[in-house]
């Protein structure tokens, strides 16, 4: 029995029959099956996906297509039932075909659809949601206790976000509290965490992060959560405690915890946050076990923060012992950057050098280094585009490389941050030498 047939058997048990051909073949939908019953199956599938069953993503695509066909071919009299109207609206807000809502509204001669809701959603789905943010917010408040309430609240939060993040947070809170355990809650909590991190609302961010890790760690969108959590820890470690971080990581398995600590260590090292980089690298080492690659990364990130300091010799000794094969091109470029900065730290002082020193060779070396940058969310704004991973080979610069022009240098922002941090310390040393004189 195929996954599709098994899933259908579970989903449609007790409902009207839904005959389905094999993958790629024609699908026949029982014309007595009402749209709102089919929508329940879609909701079940979507909630299954965010709980970790990624194999259900294929079923989600199938259900979206099947419901689309049913909505378009349904007898107009079916829309006299508000449950079917709600089904059409929720389908449109759940990643369905926007043209189907246009089709249904254009043929609604009996006034079954609330024109305010349908017009607002049509603008939202066409990428013009910010133009009707206030009216959509009012509609969401009016319908907050209806079946479509959580979905409207989520959409209202999306269009309110750019102008009033605090108001958007209220919409997201309502959405997640009225649709617990669903894809609506997952999306609302993920967006709430992003707002809290941006607005530096540390206490709420901790609560959202903890809740997400506890409930949606296996969602296909959990990578976005991981990005937000790493950023949250690095930016707010001064007011966080290790136990605050562990409260969220405690819901993760060893591999995920180690990955988060490694990412925190890397970002902290680049930002020059020594205490955090050391703590995260130490935790990653403890979780590495016998995996040499993970331990190598912990050593890399933990040692980077010692490069522009008095411990540069010890730091570089550790860095140079890390096997090249254990590092990605991105991390090899980062180690090369550390080596270049270390050479500047260790170079002999030249106090007689004029103040207008030409650009150091190290700057040319660093700016010649290039590094690669690191299921579509059904509730993403129509104007949003998913990030596309970019992969580029790193071309290390030789020690004798000339200083490139600004047009030639396309340095990774992270490397630039690391180098700038090291340069600021080197510049302070140069200033001191100049004041002391020959």
Structural domain boundaries of the chain? Answer: 1-113, 129-251
Residue 434 reports pLDDT greater than 70: no
Kindly state the DSSP code that residue 322 receives in the 8-state scheme: S
CA 258 to chain centre: 18
Residue 335 reports pLDDT greater than 80: no
Look at 10-19, 117-126, 297-306, 393-402 and tell me which has the smallest mean pLDDT.
393-402
19 backbone dihedrals φ, ψ, rounded to 5°: -85, 130
Overall size of the chain counted in residues: 438
Q: Report the 10 Å Cβ neighbour count for 224.
A: 17
Residue 231 region by backbone torsions, left for phi larger than 0, else alpha for psi between -120 and 50, else beta: alpha
28 backbone dihedrals φ, ψ, rounded to 5°: -115, 125
Q: How many CA atoms lie within 13 A of 334 on its CB side?
A: 27
Look at 24-33, 186-195, 328-337 and tell me which has the smallest mean pLDDT.
24-33
Q: What is the pLDDT of residue 50?
A: 92
Q: Is pLDDT larger for residue 209 or for residue 270?
A: 209
Query: What distance in Å separates the CA atoms of residue 359 and residue 402, rounded to the nearest whole number?
Result: 11
> What's the whole-number mean pLDDT along residues 298-316?
62
Query: What distance in Å separates the CA atoms of residue 70 and residue 358, rounded to the nearest whole number?
Result: 71
Q: Is pLDDT larger for residue 89 or for residue 28?
A: 89
% of residues, the chain, pLDDT over 70: 62
> What's the whole-number mean pLDDT along residues 406-431?
48
Q: What is the pLDDT of residue 310?
A: 52
Reported as a single tens digit per residue, the pLDDT across 109-155 is 999 999 999 999 999 999 888 888 899 999 999 999 999 999 999 99
Q: What is the pLDDT of residue 360?
A: 38
Look at 186-190, 339-343, 428-432 and tell me which has the smallest mean pLDDT.
428-432
Contact by Cβ (8 Å): 38, 75: no
Residue 359 reports pLDDT greater than 70: no
Residue 386 reports pLDDT greater than 70: no
Q: How many CA atoms lie within 13 A of 68 on its CB side?
A: 17
Q: What is the pLDDT of residue 205?
A: 95
> What's the whole-number mean pLDDT along residues 407-435?
48
Contact by Cβ (8 Å): 129, 158: yes
Q: How many CA atoms lie within 13 A of 293 on its CB side?
A: 7
Contact by Cβ (8 Å): 344, 422: yes
Quote the Cα angle for 305-387-101, to 5°: 150
> Which of 312, 306, 304 is closest to 331 using CA atoms?
304
- Alpha carbon distance, N-terminus to C-terminus of the chain: 85
Reported as a single tens digit per residue, the pLDDT across 226-281 is 999 999 999 999 998 878 899 999 999 998 998 898 889 888 888 888 888 888 88
Residue 411 reports pLDDT greater than 60: no
Residue 389 reports pLDDT greater than 50: no
pTM over 0.75: no
> What's the whole-number mean pLDDT along residues 337-363?
51
The mean pLDDT of the chain is: 75
Query: What distance in Å separates the CA atoms of residue 40 and residue 188, rounded to the nearest whole number?
Result: 20
């Amino acid at each position: 029995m195929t996954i599709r047939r098994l899933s259908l058997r579970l989903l449609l048990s007790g409902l009207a029959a839904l005959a389905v051909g094999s993958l790629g073949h024609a699908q026949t939908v029982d014309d007595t099956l009402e749209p709102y019953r089919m929508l329940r199956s879609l909701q079940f599938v979507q909630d299954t996906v965010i709980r970790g069953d990624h194999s259900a993503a294929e079923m989600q695509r199938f259900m979206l297509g099947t419901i689309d066909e049913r909505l378009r071919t349904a007898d107009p009299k079916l829309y006299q039932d508000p449950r079917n109207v709600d089904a059409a609206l929720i389908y449109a807000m759940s990643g369905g075909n926007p043209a189907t809502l246009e089709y249904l509204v254009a043929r609604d001669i009996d006034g079954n659809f609330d024109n305010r809701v349908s017009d607002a959603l049509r603008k939202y789905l066409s990428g013009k949601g910010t133009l009707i943010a206030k009216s959509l917010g009012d509609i969401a408040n009016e319908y907050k206790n209806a079946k479509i309430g959580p979905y409207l609240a989520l959409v209202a939060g999306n269009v309110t976000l750019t102008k009033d993040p605090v108001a958007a947070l209220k919409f997201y809170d309502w959405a997640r509290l009225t649709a617990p355990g669903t894809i609506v809650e997952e999306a609302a909590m993920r967006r709430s965490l992003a707002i809290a991190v941006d607005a530096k609302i540390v206490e709420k961010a901790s609560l959202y992060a903890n809740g997400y890790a506890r409930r949606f760690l296996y969602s296909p969108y959990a990578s976005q959560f991981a990005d937000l959590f790493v950023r949250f820890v690095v930016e707010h470690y001064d007011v966080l405690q290790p136990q605050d971080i562990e409260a969220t990581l405690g819901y993760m398995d060893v591999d995920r915890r180690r990955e988060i600590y490694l990412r925190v260590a890397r970002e902290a090292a680049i930002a020059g946050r020594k205490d955090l980089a050391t703590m995260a690298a130490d935790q990653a080492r403890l979780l590495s076990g016998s995996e040499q690659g993970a331990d190598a990364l912990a050593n890399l990130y933990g040692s980077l923060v010692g490069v522009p300091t008095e411990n540069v010799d010890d730091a570089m000794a550790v860095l140079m012992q890390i096997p090249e094969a254990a590092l990605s091109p991105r991390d090899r470029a980062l180690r090369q950057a550390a080596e270049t900065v270390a050479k500047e730290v260790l170079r002999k002082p030249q106090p007689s050098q004029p103040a207008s020193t030409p650009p150091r060779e190290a700057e040319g070396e660093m700016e010649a280094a290039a590094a690669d940058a690191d299921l579509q969310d059904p509730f993403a704004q129509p104007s949003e585009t998913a990030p596309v991973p970019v992969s580029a080979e790193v071309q290390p610069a030789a020690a004798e490389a000339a200083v490139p022009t600004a047009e030639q240098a396309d340095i990774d922002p992270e490397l630039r941050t690391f180098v700038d941090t090291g340069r600021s310390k080197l510049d302070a040393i140069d200033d001191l030498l100049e004041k002391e004189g020959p």
